[in-house]
Amino acid sequence: MRKYYLDNIRWITVVIVVLYHVFYMYNAEGILGGLGKITSVSVQPYDIFLYFVYPWFMPVLFLVSGISSRLYLESHTDREFIKNRTRKLLVPSTIGLFAFQFIQGYVSMSLGTGFTELAAAHVPKPVIFLIMAASGIGVLWFIQLLWLYCVILVFLKKAERGKVLKAGAKTPVWLILLFYFLIWGAAQILNTPIISVYRIAFYFVFFILGYYVFSHDEVMEELKRYAVPLIVTGVLACAAFSALYFSIGANYADEPVNRNPLYAACAYLGSLAVLSGMARFGDCGNRFTKWMSRKSFGLYVFHYLGISAVALLIAKPGSLPASVCYLLSLAAGFVFGFGLYEIISRIPFFRWAVLGIKKEKKDVSG
């Protein structure tokens, strides 16, 4: 049976990502967004939203991806799995950079001083283009890491021969809670410098727990019993984190904050709250939720281009009031996300290169 709660977690989380990036673009606290502050107020209280959602919204996507990988592998071979994930994840995040996402790189670099600095350093134009293409990775870091995890998973499967997966079905709730220490430990290692989103060990733990533990119906049935206390605990942990670090304007996305115990608690408890809550209360679908589920990948891939384009063309010149720029950025995120998906998914080559959509076979019947 279709696990609608997984679909709903995906598209709802992607919508949260869009909202996050709107606030992030004009963020005035902790970490400089794409453009930075455009209001005249001393403190933007709504920026606390960034602190509340950042620790858990990407971990929960990796958790769901781990579960989905298990479900896919139940009816496909390892080779089919890697082939599918390479097309859907690796191709858009590599070839797609040169086919389309260099445009995002251009907008992102134009928001700052990237082109000016490169020109002053007399960097050759072909090299500038490569840098611009790399700058277009943006939100695609998620699918780059996810492809890497899928490859590692295949090797793990062959090494453990299903024994760990079988044992995962018997995971008790008390052990699930103790996995927090595994996540906290992983937060300390394999973190790339400068580009803080590539937290290889941290996100891998969520992915692998999704595959080996939370993909089991037995575990999820037990977890659903504790959905309400997990939701309350997750909200309280994230509220405490937000209040503490927003008040001092700390950088929530980099060390030392994203290595500390409270951050790990927000990431894990927040993910468990979403997973258990949606499994208990959101395991249903209708025409709207199914449509959002089908389009959520396109929204994720293209939304930031709309937000950053408004920032570059309207907010940066100060053409309109800040409140209008926020609203236009939000609208552009959805318009670009859904609109570009509908357009590019219909264009040969680009549908494969940018979105990983398999080439349609021609009908030769008759």
The overall pTM is greater than 0.85: yes
Give me the residues of the chain with pLDDT under 70, please.
360-366
Q: Are 345 and 298 in contact (CB under 8 A)?
A: yes
Sequence letter at residue 282: G
What integer pLDDT is reported at residue 29 of this predicted model?
80
d(CA 50, CA 58): 13
Q: Are 143 and 89 in contact (CB under 8 A)?
A: yes
Structure tokens at 193: 């410098």
Q: Are 241 and 269 in contact (CB under 8 A)?
A: no
Q: Are 59 and 267 in contact (CB under 8 A)?
A: yes
What integer pLDDT is reported at residue 364 of this predicted model?
41
In DSSP notation, 284-301 reads: ---HHHHHHHHHHHHHHH
What integer pLDDT is reported at residue 30 of this predicted model?
77
Q: Are 346 and 304 in contact (CB under 8 A)?
A: no
What integer pLDDT is reported at residue 366 of this predicted model?
38
d(CA 324, CA 291): 29
In 3D space, the residue among 151, 149, 134 whose CA is nearest the CA of residue 190 turns out to be 149
How distant, in Å, are the alpha carbons of 231, 233, 240, 243, 245 from that of 236?
9, 5, 6, 10, 14
d(CA 139, CA 61): 13
The three-state secondary structure class of 358 is coil
What integer pLDDT is reported at residue 361 of this predicted model?
53
d(CA 272, CA 104): 33
Q: Let me know if 217 is exposed, middle or buried by CB neighbors in 10 A (0-12, 13-18, 19+).
A: exposed
Sequence letter at residue 358: K
d(CA 209, CA 220): 12
The three-state secondary structure class of 191 is strand
Which residues, other chains included, contact 21 with Cβ-Cβ below 8 Å and sequence gap of 6+? 303, 304, 307, 333
In 3D space, the residue among 4, 50, 67, 86 whose CA is nearest the CA of residue 282 turns out to be 4
What integer pLDDT is reported at residue 365 of this predicted model?
42
d(CA 109, CA 113): 7
What integer pLDDT is reported at residue 28 of this predicted model?
83
What integer pLDDT is reported at residue 55 of this predicted model?
97
